[in-house]
Amino acid sequence: MRSEALLRFDREHLWHPYASMTQPITAWPVREAEGVHLILEDGRRLIDGMASWWSVIHGYRHPRLVAALQAQAARLSHVMFGGLTHEPAVALGRRLVGLTPEPLQHVFFADSGSVAVEVAIKMALQYRIARGETGRSRLLALRCGYHGDTFAAMSVCDPEGGMHHLFAGILPRQVFAPAPACRPGSGEAEPDLQAFRERIERHADELAAVILEPIVQGAGGMRFYCPEFLAGVRALCDEYGLLLIADEIATGFGRTGTLFACEQAGISPDILCVGKALTGGMLTLAATLCTREVAETIGRGEPGLFMHGPTFMANPLACRVACESIDLLLEQPWQARIRDIEQGLRSGLAPCREIDGVRDVRVLGAIGVVELDRPVDMSVVPARFVERGVWVRPFRNLVYVMPPYVIDEESLAVLCRAIREVVAEI
Ligand SMILES: *Cc1c(COP(=O)(O)O)cnc(C)c1O
């Protein structure tokens, strides 16, 4: 009864992500969550394959994160960051500066990933303005990329898969290079780099920066590419005086097997965005880091200030929980954990290759992807996963998982079996 009333109001009044209010799809009511399980209103337990979109790395309701949140709430939930500061922000800033490559020394705290991307783009543009290079205002991005849903972020998303057509004439027109075709391990980055260099040369005097997702292109297509390409892009940015913005909002905090995906190419970006797993999925928080050179150049220009300041900037609850989440991650043998999940996904998903309609199966770190040759019917497929006791939400032609790192071997096997069975049915 209770859940029926809840669902009725939800269906009639609440927007869901990328959803229609007139033709709403089924939403399952979650009562609570614990560890790797979502618990529905009717008591059913689902193994969560999505980690709530990359974020819940330690599982739900982790006692240390809950305790950190409660202790901070009892002391200081929020205070404006204009003219005031606090220990949770400083503690998190210290950790981020310490964990990221040495050149990244300055931290801007934002309230979501998209805003962190807006901030990164604004930093690059203010950097150009400060240098008197006002003509250099475009960004070079990759096809199949995803960087968020706000306007500047949308403008650097894949121009076909993204919302460019819908907002044609409104979005800034950026420059796009082909999505790299080199697979991790292949090392064959030269043709991709050639195409990338060609775009830079054609637009050198109007480009402010390059923006990309290092190694894993997430919501734009769940594609993996070789570190050699990323290293080559860094070298090209240096050669042509372009800033490199690395969007690690999905890849940060261990997901690909290294703490940050940039480490796989041994490079450091000029600007770095983190979000999603930053708080272990407890609260919304993101951050944009930049080099001393970027910060000092902005400081030398007009008006000498960086022109951004969200109301909930550096929220103490989110900062405190983020510190706890990072400590929790680093205190455990997380690399081994990710390797185990990678192994489990590899063996569990490999049989999908034999299924009709499967175009590709790929695994990197704690990410598993089954690419089909046709779009998944979202009106039936999520229900088939729920029937099997797992939560997997495909998009387009991609059935993919990135489970919480705490997932045990047996649950991972259940997750992979469900994917094999559902993929075989569709
Ligand atoms: C999710 C995501 C974003 C946007 O983050 P939100 O918190 O959803 O605004 C940006 N970039 C990448 C790579 C992402 O995966």
Q: Residue 250 C-alpha to ligand 1 middle, in angstroms?
A: 7
Among 56, 146, 149, 285, residue to substitute to test ligand 1 (most atoms within 8 Å of Cβ): 146
261 lines ligand 1 (CB under 6 A): no
Percentage of residues of the chain with pLDDT beyond 70: 100
Give per-residue pLDDT as tens, 29-69.
999 999 999 999 999 999 999 999 999 999 999 999 999 99
140 lines ligand 1 (CB under 6 A): no
The CA distance from 271 to 254, in Å, is 19
Q: Are strands 271-274 and 286-291 parallel, antiparallel or unpaired?
A: antiparallel
Q: Is the pLDDT of residue 382 over 90?
A: yes
156 lines ligand 1 (CB under 6 A): no
Q: Which residues are catalytic?
A: 18, 146, 247, 276
404 lines ligand 1 (CB under 6 A): no
> In one letter, which amino acid is 217?
Q
Nearest CA-CA partner of 358 in 425, 305, 294, 311: 425
pLDDT the model gives residue 162: 87
Q: Residue 151 C-alpha to ligand 1 middle, in angstroms?
A: 13
Q: Is the pLDDT of residue 318 over 90?
A: yes
Residue 338, φ and ψ in degrees, nearest 5: -65, -40
Give per-residue pLDDT as tens, 261-307.
999 999 999 999 999 999 999 999 999 999 999 999 999 999 999 99
CA angle, residues 149, 256, 119, in degrees to nearest 5: 35
Q: Is the pLDDT of residue 349 over 80?
A: yes
Q: Residue 249 C-alpha to ligand 1 middle, in angstroms?
A: 6
148 lines ligand 1 (CB under 6 A): yes
283 lines ligand 1 (CB under 6 A): no
pLDDT the model gives residue 123: 98
Give per-residue pLDDT as tens, 157-194.
999 988 888 998 999 999 999 999 999 999 899 999 99
Q: Residue 370: which residues within 8 A CB-CB, separation 6 or more?
A: 349, 352, 358, 360, 361, 398, 399, 400, 419, 423
Q: Residue 165 C-alpha to ligand 1 middle, in angstroms?
A: 20
Helix 87-99 vs helix 316-330: angle between axes, to the nearest 10 degrees?
40
pTM above 0.85, yes or no: yes
pLDDT the model gives residue 1: 59
pLDDT the model gives residue 2: 77
* Peptide bond between residue 303 and the one before it cis (omega within 30 degrees of 0): yes
Label residue 135 by pLDDT band (50, 70, 90). very high
Q: Is the pLDDT of residue 129 over 90?
A: yes
Mean pLDDT of all residues in 238-258: 98
Ligand 1 atom at minimum distance from 275 CA = 7
Mean pLDDT of all residues in 364-389: 96
Q: Residue 239 C-alpha to ligand 1 middle, in angstroms?
A: 29
pLDDT the model gives residue 3: 87
219 lines ligand 1 (CB under 6 A): yes
